Amino acid sequence: MNNAYRKVTEALRFDEYESLERQAVKFEKILAGAFRDYGYVQHKRIGSSVTGTMCRGAEDIDYFVVLACLPSVETTTHLLECAGFAISRVTLDVHGYSRHSGTWTGYKFVVVPTVPPGPSPKTYVEDAFWHPEFIASRRRPDHVDQVLLTKHFFKGSGFYKKIKGISCELLVLEFGSFDEILQAIIRSDRIRVNFSPYREEHTDSKIVVDYPFVGRRSLSERIDASEYENIRHLAERTLADPQQLPEIAW
């Protein structure tokens, strides 16, 4: 790894996982108590705090709470707020699963209640439930550094909200390294990462990262042609001179 890349990864790498784990234990006990009347089965943490690719300054913890029966969205919000979680946003997906975002003791969090998922995902929520195992089974030894560089690149280009963390993880799994991702962007008019068995087209986005199990939907938001050209130009500059990676705050 060149010095410019090393400087980025050292600045970005979250190094307080021991503290995070202590807080997570407390968080999980509160979750179990909050949902005890709904047949609490288990909790499962997902996301960058599990894969080790969390960026310093962007600390968050994401959980599925597996329940025998699902409370209503309103009841879930009430249970979480009564347990001491500050809820800032609630969204509902097409399958009826609710996503509750907020803050707790300085950490951002997401909690998604779900029924016990099967071993073969059929919905996008079930797909996300198995992302940690999917990544763990395919990652290379330098996975963390390559993902941090990829996140930094898309943050610096202004597209990190569209190319989310999980998309960066899967891009690294597909292409092997940050430099290979940049080279693919430069030489291709469109990038698609699809580990699923489904090959039909479902978007005209220039960067598509399919859900790895059920496919047919992108984890990244739509990138149009002009946006892709901006990303391509930054990729060319970065490969030509890694010092061109912008200094940004998370």
Tens place of pLDDT per residue across the chain (250 aa):
899 999 999 999 999 999 999 999 999 999 999 999 999 999 999 999 999 999 998 889 999 999 999 999 999 999 999 999 999 999 998 777 899 999 998 889 999 999 999 888 988 999 999 999 999 999 999 999 999 999 999 999 999 989 999 999 999 999 999 999 999 999 999 999 999 999 999 999 999 999 999 999 999 999 999 999 999 999 999 999 999 887 777 7
CB distance 12 to 55 below 8 Å: yes
**To which CATH superfamily is domain 3-11+141-244 assigned?**
CCA tRNA nucleotidyltransferase, domain 2 (1.10.1410.30)
The one-character DSSP state at 55 is B
User: So what's the pLDDT on residue 248?
Assistant: 76
Helix or strand or coil: residue 39? coil
- CA dist list (Å): 105 to 19, 24, 28, 59, 171: 12, 11, 13, 11, 32
User: So what's the pLDDT on residue 79?
Assistant: 97
Q: How many whole angstroms separate alpha carbon 180 and alpha carbon 194?
A: 17
Same fold, 3-11+141-244 and 14-136: no
The one-character DSSP state at 211 is -
Residue with tokens 């179990």: 32
Phi, psi of 25 (to 5 degrees): -60, -45
CB distance 113 to 91 below 8 Å: no
Q: How many whole angstroms separate alpha carbon 193 and alpha carbon 170?
A: 7
Helix ranges (H only) for the chain are 3-12, 17-34, 48-51, 73-82, 124-129, 131-136, 143-156, 165-175, 178-187, 225-240
Q: Give domain 14-136's CATH number out of 3.40.50.150, 1.10.645.10, 3.30.870.10, 3.30.460.10.
A: 3.30.460.10
Sheet of 98-104: strand order equals 40-46, 60-67, 107-114, 98-104, 86-92
User: So what's the pLDDT on residue 94?
Assistant: 72
Tokens of 88: 């800032």
Q: How many whole angstroms separate alpha carbon 6 and alpha carbon 77?
A: 42
Tokens of 159: 């597209």
CB neighbours of 15 closer than 8 A, spacing ≥ 6? 56
Cα-Cα-Cα-Cα dihedral of 177, 215, 218, 115, to 10°? -110
User: So what's the pLDDT on residue 95?
Assistant: 72
Q: Domain spans of the chain?
A: 3-11+141-244, 14-136
